[in-house]
């Protein structure tokens, strides 16, 4: 399936794509939906490669798989589930039928309940023992933490509700630091666990309840739950009107559009939250309607496939030139690596090519003074994805935002252009160097260039735009998984370590011995117990 693409890539691998990047190419290799654009002109993808990549979409039936997802068919085959996070942002679309029932009325009813509770918290109608809520602590892990934590930071200019804190790590340092900053009498704790059994989340929830119980007469009265386990939330003491459930067709890393987004809704308000949903819905509409050559999720996926499966580049750097998107790379790490970090196809056969890439990154310009050295002059090629807004939220500092834009565009240009030995030699000769020392110093200043990047640009980072961006990446993951023939919606790789941790806990606590453990693990247990574990 990839042979023709790899053959074409081998023919053009040494071509300088800077030489192709004229105005016509920039127009042809940029796509847009609404005010959001995707520029992938600074890659080695040409018209032939794009045509072959689009053929790949057609050969693997991506359009039919896409339609099946939106229609509520059980495309998560290993778990027998539909994949319908898109239904959570379907504010005015057609019915979605799962097992003979339209799920949209229940989705909207839950959204309305969330909005009602959020307004009560924001207005002070819902109070803690000490008065109006000043702080909200969201306790979750994985998608129950990464999504809302990322979004609350991203939309901080719209944050006019209580302060929001996020606890995920079972390391006691995480929750201890948050609790020290809050007043238990005016704090709302949200426990985000679908099953209400996630060990890290429930350990932190019990710690928070005990902390609150030292001051508050009825601590459970200041808790809410994002869970479907009504019996367990009831046993914890949380009233049913503060329990917000969601169906098993919503995966954790795709869940902040619904109840998992309650902390975000409390922070920015129901209206802004609905604008966030509208942005996601707009990208859904675009993904379903646009032809492949203009379809942003498909194109972003095809760029990823070209770089990873065709060119063999093993990593992908996400570089938002927007400090408020500082948690986006971590969010996308889970979204992409948990979804497409698989080794077998749907039929259980080993994949003939590599699956998803390693996703990482940091905001610019910080990264420029950290790891960009490797990106520019290292021996491995790292495809980069830049995100940049035309305007920030500080109009009085617009000149500084323009400097940010200049840095963003300069980095993608530098990655493409590089600097030749001849150029470096001329620079050093102008400084008075000659002979062998001139050659030596010049070689240190050579940039190979021809390093690919894409740029996602938008007017400003508002709730609608953030919704567009997140849905864009969600659908990119879907397309890449569909092409590879894998299930992007299970996560069995998470399970083994959890099982072993449960078995190891009694050993660490001294309630069982390390019989049956390998020598390394047994030795580490002994060391840690000798030193206070």
In this prediction, residues 40-59 reach a mean pLDDT of 97
pLDDT given for residue 180 in this prediction: 97
Coil, helix or strand for 435? helix
Q: What is the pLDDT of residues 397-430, one digit of tens each?
A: 999 999 999 999 999 999 999 999 999 999 999 9
Cα 153 to Cα 163, 186, 222, 362: the distances in Å are 11, 22, 24, 14
Half-sphere exposure of 482 toward its Cβ, with a 13 Å CA cutoff? Answer: 25
pLDDT given for residue 136 in this prediction: 98
- For a pLDDT cut of 70, what percent of the chain falls above it? 100
pLDDT given for residue 497 in this prediction: 87
- Provide the 10 A C-beta neighbour count for residue 112: 11
N-to-C CA span, the chain = 53
pLDDT-derived band at 495 (thresholds 50, 70, 90) equals confident
In this prediction, residues 163-183 reach a mean pLDDT of 98
Using alpha carbons, select from 12, 50, 27 the residue that is nearest to residue 300: 50
How far apart (Å, rounded) are the C-alpha atoms in residues 189 and 136? 6
Residues 6+ apart with CB under 8 A from 213: 219
338 is catalytic: yes
Q: Which of 338, 362, 385, 474 is catalytic?
A: 338
Q: Poorest-confidence range of 157-171, 212-226, 321-335, 486-500?
A: 486-500
How far apart (Å, rounded) are the C-alpha atoms in residues 505 and 308? 39
pLDDT-derived band at 363 (thresholds 50, 70, 90) equals very high
286 is catalytic: no
CA angle 312, 314, 317 (to 5 degrees): 125
pLDDT given for residue 494 in this prediction: 86
How far apart (Å, rounded) are the C-alpha atoms in residues 228 and 85? 16
Q: What is the pLDDT of residues 275-319, one digit of tens each?
A: 999 999 999 999 999 999 999 999 999 999 999 999 999 999 999
Mean pLDDT over all residues of the chain? Answer: 96
For the chain, what's the residue count?
Answer: 533
Q: Quick one: three-class SS letters along 456-490?
A: EEECCCCHHHHHHHHHHHHHHHHHHHHHHCCCCCC
Q: Which of 291, 369, 444, 499 is catalytic?
A: 369
Q: What is the pLDDT of residues 233-269, one digit of tens each?
A: 999 999 999 999 999 999 999 999 999 999 999 999 9
Coil, helix or strand for 283? helix
232 is catalytic: no
Q: Max CA-CA distance within the chain?
A: 82
How far apart (Å, rounded) are the C-alpha atoms in residues 104 and 106? 5
Residues 6+ apart with CB under 8 A from 141: 168, 169, 198, 200, 201
pTM: 0.96
How far apart (Å, rounded) are the C-alpha atoms in residues 372 and 376? 6
Using alpha carbons, select from 60, 202, 93 the residue that is nearest to residue 139: 202
Task: Indicate whether 1 pLDDT > 80.
Answer: no
Cα 233 to Cα 153, 361, 506: the distances in Å are 28, 37, 26
């Amino acid at each position: 399936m990839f042979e023709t693409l790899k053959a074409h890539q081998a023919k053009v691998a040494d071509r300088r794509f800077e030489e192709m990047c004229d105005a016509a190419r920039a127009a042809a290799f940029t796509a847009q939906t609404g005010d959001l654009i995707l520029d992938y002109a600074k890659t080695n993808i040409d018209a032939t490669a794009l045509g072959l990549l689009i053929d790949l979409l057609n050969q693997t039936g991506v359009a039919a798989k896409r339609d099946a997802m939106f229609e509520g068919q059980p495309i998560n085959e290993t778990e027998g589930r539909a994949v319908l996070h898109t239904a959570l942002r379907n504010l005015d679309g057609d019915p979605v039928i799962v097992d003979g029932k339209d799920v949209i009325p229940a989705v909207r009813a839950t959204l309305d309940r969330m909005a009602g509770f959020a307004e009560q918290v924001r207005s002070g109608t819902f109070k803690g023992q000490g008065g109006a809520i000043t702080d909200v602590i969201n306790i979750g892990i994985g998608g129950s933490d990464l999504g809302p934590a990322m979004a609350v930071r991203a939309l901080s200019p719209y944050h006019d509700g209580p302060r929001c804190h996020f606890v995920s790590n079972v390391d006691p340092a995480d929750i201890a630091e948050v609790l020290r900053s809050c007043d238990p009498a005016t704090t709302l704790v949200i426990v985000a666990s679908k099953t209400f059994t996630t060990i890290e989340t429930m350990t932190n929830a019990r710690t928070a309840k005990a902390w609150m119980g030292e001051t508050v007469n009825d601590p459970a009265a200041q808790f809410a739950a994002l869970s479907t386990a009504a019996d367990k939330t009831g046993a914890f003491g949380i009233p049913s009107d503060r329990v917000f459930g969601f169906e098993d067709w919503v995966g954790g890393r795709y869940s902040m559009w619904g109840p998992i987004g309650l902390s975000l809704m409390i922070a920015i308000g129901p209206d802004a939250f609905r604008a966030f949903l509208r942005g996601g819905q707009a990208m859904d509409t675009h993904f379903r309607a646009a032809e492949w050559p203009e379809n942003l999720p498909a194109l972003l996926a095809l760029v990823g496939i070209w770089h990873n499966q065709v060119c063999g580049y093993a990593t992908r750097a996400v570089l938002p030139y927007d400090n408020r998107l500082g948690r986006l790379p971590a969010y996308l790490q889970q979204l992409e690596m948990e979804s497409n970090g698989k080794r077998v196809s749907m039929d259980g056969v080993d994949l003939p090519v590599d699956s998803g890439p390693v996703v990482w990154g940091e905001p610019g310009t910080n990264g420029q003074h950290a790891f960009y050295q490797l990106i520019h002059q290292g021996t491995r090629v790292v495809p980069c994805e830049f995100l940049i807004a035309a305007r920030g939220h500080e109009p009085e500092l617009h000149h500084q935002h323009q400097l940010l834009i200049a840095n963003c565009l300069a980095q993608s240009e530098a990655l493409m252009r590089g600097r030749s030995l001849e150029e470096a030699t001329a620079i050093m000769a102008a400084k008075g160097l000659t002979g062998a020392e001139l050659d030596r110093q010049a070689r240190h200043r050579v940039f190979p260039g021809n390093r690919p990047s894409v740029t996602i640009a938008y007017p400003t980072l508002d709730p609608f735009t953030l919704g567009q961006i997140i849905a864009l990446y969600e659908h990119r993951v879907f397309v890449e998984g569909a092409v590879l023939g894998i299930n992007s919606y299970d996560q069995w790789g998470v399970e083994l370590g959890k099982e072993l941790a449960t078995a190891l806990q009694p050993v660490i606590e001294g309630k069982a011995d390390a019989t049956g453990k390998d020598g390394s693990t047994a030795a580490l247990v002994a060391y840690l117990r000798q030193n206070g574990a």
